[in-house]
Amino acid sequence: MTKKENRIEEIARRRGIFWQSSEIYGGVSGLYDYGHIGTLIKRKWENLWRRYFLGLDDNFFEVECRNIMPEPVFKASGHIDSFVDPITKCKKCGSLERADHLVEKNLNESFEGLSADDLTKMIRKHGIKCPKCGGGLDEVGIINMMLPLMLGGSSPAYLRPETAQGAYVSFLREFDVLRKKLPLGLAIVGRAYRNEISPRNLLIRMREFDQAELQIFFNPGMINEHGDFGRVSSYKLRVMPVSSRKSGITHEISCSDMTKKLPKFYVYHMAMIQKFYLEILGVAPEKFRFKELGDEERAFYNKYHWDMELCMDSMDGFREVGGIHYRTDHDLSGHMKVSGTDMNVFSDGKKFIPHVLELSFGVDRNVYAMLDMGFTEENVKGEERVIFRLPRALSPFDCAVFPLVNREGMDAKAAEIKRNMASMGMAVFYDSSGSIGRRYRRADEIGVAACITVDSETLKDGTVTLRDRDSMKQVRVHEKDLPEKIRVFASGADIY
């Protein structure tokens, strides 16, 4: 772990954000629990995602499908045959390692997509040893990443390795219910499970994790069209194509110019994804990019595949947090073949199997990225100040309320303000323990953007002190104006 990664983990445990699951039994690798603060942050990220992406089209809706699905689903999708990872075993200590990750770590290059034989040759050529004990490594083999189980003791099934299949097997039902209109978007926000051999980097690579995915079913004959493309034609995307991989240069290319390489339907959704990160989450442009995957890296059914990456200091640079995948008709055709159900639809005067554009986001990875990019340690008047400068919309609480001291009626007034704010639907953090400075520090450490302090002036004229987490500037605000002031502040306006 990097120093920053260790610091984030330590504060996350201490402040109720996240920690290793089953901690009292020593923890389980690749499994993390969210504490009360982490759960609030995660739910806010998910709700921002819902409001934004479901708002892109009147025919986009969220559905909820089961985590357990029968074996034929994954025969049709190709997961049983193709959802595998390359692994190697240490001859000395017996530990298992992801072979591609091991080679990547030692040679500082990406080797995703190499065959087991090629990875074995790379390990032998460069003398790569077990990272735990330095022992020699066996030849690289493969392991299926799905987690199997038996329904009723006799019917084979799996925990879903991605949320997407639920949308595909529900497509015909939803298409019929929604008056047979395309494009049709089905979003799923929920759990997925993968038997990772070497989970690592806290919330970045886990065995049980959450995804937010939007499957957009459309007429393949319309892929070079989008009714709203004109709104983004001059908008510049931050991209790193395969040709720039070695240099690491990120280019800014207009959507119009990107259509020389990619269809309009795809490029439009790239633009909307980038706007989500830059305009909704407030990510600095230099911290975001799309990275193109080459032929040997992307899944065989993906005609186009660009990952969304965010730059995280604790992870030593850019890391994948999602992807935009043009899956063609692979999934619906596979389910038609195995289930015997005709997946053809009649739309725009033609009969065809819809194609799918998938917008896929790792919820946990995105939450961690927000923590990483917001983590700040600074010295204020000789005292250490630790802050998670989360986007205001992701603040676990809308505001914190403190009495300056617990006497002279200030505590009662602060409690009254807290109740009033809560009655208006706001999440309020109340703290009356310790000095006011310590309470500010506790709020800073969990990312609360706005703090309200009740003091002697409040009892005289009804005004309170409103403090901005990031600048630490304060203004006097009348208590009756607080709800609107907090709402405006959460949207990005200054408090002063």
Question: What are 67's two structure tokens?
Answer: 């985590």
Longest CA–CA span in the chain (Å) reads 78
From the CB of residue 211, how many other CB atoms can be counted at a distance below 10 Å?
20
3-81+147-371: CATH, from 3.20.20.450, 3.20.20.60, 3.30.930.10, 1.10.760.10: 3.30.930.10
Domain boundaries, the chain: 3-81+147-371, 84-144, 395-490
Rounded to whole angstroms, the Cα distance separating 290 from 478 reads: 45
Nearest to 56 by CA among 221, 231, 202: 231
| Helix (H) or strand (E) run with residue 399 in it | strand 399-403
Spacing of C-alpha 214 from chain mean position: 13
Is beta strand 399-403 parallel, antiparallel or unpaired with respect to 450-454? parallel
Tally helices (H) and strands (E) across the chain: 15, 26
Question: What are 229's two structure tokens?
Answer: 């493309």
Which residues are 62's β-sheet partners?
187
The pLDDT tens digits of the residues spanning 238-262 come to 999 999 999 999 999 999 999 999 9
**Fold of the CATH domain 84-144:** Herpes Virus-1 (3.30.40)
Question: What are 237's two structure tokens?
Answer: 């995307």
Spacing of C-alpha 479 from chain mean position: 36
CATH number of this structure's domain 395-490: 3.40.50.800
Which residues are 10's β-sheet partners?
none
For the entire predicted model, the pTM comes to 0.93
pLDDT reported for residue 383: 84
Rounded to whole angstroms, the Cα distance separating 464 from 401 reads: 10
- Contact, 276 vs 52, CB < 8 A? yes
> CA angle at residue 478 from 477 to 481, to 5 degrees?
90
Which residues are 149's β-sheet partners?
157
Helix (H, G, I), strand (E, B) or coil at 57: coil
- Contact, 394 vs 45, CB < 8 A? yes
Rounded to whole angstroms, the Cα distance separating 387 from 7 reads: 12
What residue ranges in 260-340 does DSSP mark as E strands? 288-292, 304-312, 317-328
- Contact, 63 vs 174, CB < 8 A? yes
* Residue 247 amino acid letter: S
The pLDDT tens digits of the residues spanning 323-351 come to 999 999 999 999 999 999 999 999 989 99
What DSSP state is assigned to residue 249? P
pLDDT reported for residue 44: 97
Rounded to whole angstroms, the Cα distance separating 269 from 258 reads: 12
Phi and psi dihedrals of 419, rounded to 5?
Answer: -65, -40
Reported residue count of the chain is 496
Percent helix, strand and coil across the chain, each to the nearest 5: 35, 30, 35
- Residue ranges in the chain whose pLDDT is less than 50: none
